[in-house]
Structure 1
Amino acid sequence: MVVPQPPSSQEKYFVSDLGKRIGQRIRELRTQRPERWTQEELAERAQISVSFLSMIERGERVPHVETLAALANALGVSLGELFTGTEQTLAQTEDLLRPLSDFARARGLTARDVDRLLGVARVMFSGTVA
């Protein structure tokens, strides 16, 4: 018997990937400063906890825009500079999802059908036998 897994949406994939790239960018900006700030220094300046900053930099948490603004301000960059390099991520995600979207549309699949298809794919690629 296959235990249904929570649906994994395309948006979750994009947000996860975007979160990782933003975290990498924040780490890059922090460590490339002439004084090479520690996580503690940036966290204090942005008024967030060190553990939260660490999770952001590892891509485990995607901060709210207010937190991103505080980090950008602390780093002395614009909010947009935190997203430098993420444009490619959006294009790559769209390229990856386009064939799947075309497949579903051509066959008239409903959202429920797509969820079922994703369930089958999860089982196929999980490496376990159901």
Structure 2
Amino acid sequence: MKITSVDVMKIPSEDPSFSGNGQGSKEDWCPLVIRINTDEKISGFGEAGLAYGKGWRGGFGMLQDFSEVIIGEDPLNNEKIWNKLLTSTYWGIAGGVVVNAAISAIDIALWDIKGKYYNTPVYELLG
């Protein structure tokens, strides 16, 4: 199985009554969701924990950049992908909250794919 595409989505959440967070953003909560698609028509979903304030913008870009790195990889080999993102990309090596949130979202989506592939709840795969 191979990863064929990745969709990075910002969930609309604008509240017209909210006056902003003091930094120009009219949204105070902006969830980021990633969907990893495979050649076997199995998709996995994950969320980057950067939904508050301006963090979503950095997370959105990081997920887009990391998405290019994982295309063609075997989604069942999540440890290899995690290690690749952390040790062979500029931002992965540098680390930080945004990087770790993006890697975490990808890892969650890969576990989702693995659970669907084996038709087993993820909590059972984790042991």
TM over 0.5: no
* Structure whose residues are more often strand by fraction: 2
- State the TM-score, normalized to the length of structure 2: 0.30
- State the TM-score, normalized to the length of structure 1: 0.30
